[in-house]
Amino acid sequence: MISVSFVIPLHNEEKNILLLIRRIVNFASNKKWNYEIIPVDDRSTDNTASLLKKISRENKRLNPVFRKKSSEEKGNTMGRALLEGTLKARGEFIIWTMGDLADDTSTYGKIIDKLETGFDLVFGSRYMPGGSRGNLDPLKAFLSSWGTLLAKVMFGVKVHDITNAFRGFRKNIIPELRLSSNGFSISPEFAIKAYLQGYKLGEVPTVYTNRVEGVSSFKLLKMIRSYLKLYLNLFYQYKIRRQIN
């Protein structure tokens, strides 16, 4: 039985993907984990897909997904990719880790250790003591801390970093949450819903590294708009409608 599934969202990461997979393989083999890696490519126009096809023929632990954009999908679809990879995953524990080498490999072990002590969702946290946002640019740092602060004020979520998609969780919590964000808002949506449904949230410190290679998919205004829309919807759904009913 597979115990850990790594799910990696990818869009045009030909310069990063091989190194990331090598790092995961080294880490998970050293730990003697029974693991699989599910890279989820979304319409990359570089060599990401062909590289994935080649290496997955050589390594049976790789189980890639190649998404085709459906007609109603617009813009960034990282959220959909992460969910699709998660549904395909066979592990008891899932780790979402980014395809641009942003996440510190040594955090994988800390996440799994914490999940094994009974937590349901464990964040790689840049903002808790011991964590660091590294060289993340100040505007993004502001936005990401603001996203976490607002979730604390509006919903009472107590962890320090919910906007980082880097996290691990028990696969069996996913169906009940009915996550629906297409893009980057999947990160706060997952955290807020899991908290409100009573799951046990934990965090471990991690050090973030800004991408060195490849092109960013980050769009500031779209991100702010989608976060606000998400938070207001969840507030209505969980705080107002439930009180009326």
Ligand X SMILES: Nc1nc2c(ncn2[C@@H]2O[C@H](COP(=O)(O)OP(=O)(O)OP(=O)(O)O)[C@@H](O)[C@H]2O)c(=O)[nH]1
Binding site for ligand X (CB under 6 A): 9-11, 13, 40, 42, 76-78, 81, 98-100, 102, 210-211, 216-218
Residue 79 identity (one-letter amino acid): G
Going from the C-alpha of 137 to that of each of 44, 68, 208, 209, 244, the distances in angstroms are 25, 31, 11, 10, 42
Please give the order of strands across the beta sheet that includes 167-170: 65-67, 35-42, 4-10, 93-96, 167-170, 121-125, 201-205
Nearer to ligand X, 180 or 210 (CB): 210
DSSP string, 172-214: GGHHHH-----STTHHHHHHHHHHHTT--EEEEE-B-----SS
To ligand X, the closest distance from the beta carbon of 177 in angstroms equals: 19
Q: Is 134 helix (H, G, I), strand (E, B) or coil?
A: coil
To Mg ion, the closest distance from the beta carbon of 123 in angstroms equals: 16
Nearer to ligand X, 59 or 216 (CB): 216
Query: Distance between CA atoms of 130 and 166, rounded to whole angstroms?
Result: 16
What track of x and - describes contact with Mg ion for positions 102 through 131 (by CB under 5 A)?
x-----------------------------
User: Could you tell me which stretch among 131-139, 142-150, 175-183, 210-218 binds Mg ion (CB under 5 A)?
Assistant: 210-218
Nearer to ligand X, 39 or 119 (CB): 39
Query: Distance between CA atoms of 218 and 224, rounded to whole angstroms?
Result: 11
Nearer to ligand X, 38 or 119 (CB): 38
Query: Distance between CA atoms of 182 and 78, rounded to whole angstroms?
Result: 7
38 binds, among ligand X, Mg ion, none (CB under 5 to 8 A by kind): none
To ligand X, the closest distance from the beta carbon of 224 in angstroms equals: 13
To ligand X, the closest distance from the beta carbon of 146 in angstroms equals: 14
Nearer to ligand X, 119 or 162 (CB): 162
Query: Distance between CA atoms of 18 and 13, rounded to whole angstroms?
Result: 9
Going from the C-alpha of 93 to that of each of 1, 3, 165, 170, the distances in angstroms are 11, 6, 15, 5
Residue 41 contacts Mg ion per CB under 5 A: no
Residue 36 contacts Mg ion per CB under 5 A: no
Residue least distant from Mg ion (Cβ): 100
To ligand X, the closest distance from the beta carbon of 8 in angstroms equals: 7
21 binds, among ligand X, Mg ion, none (CB under 5 to 8 A by kind): none
User: Could you tell me which stretch among 96-104, 125-133, 143-151, 193-201 binds Mg ion (CB under 5 A)?
Assistant: 96-104
Rounded to a whole number of angstroms, the distance between the first and last alpha carbons of the chain is 43
Nearer to ligand X, 21 or 119 (CB): 21
User: Which residues lie near Mg ion (CB under 5 A)?
Assistant: 100, 102, 211
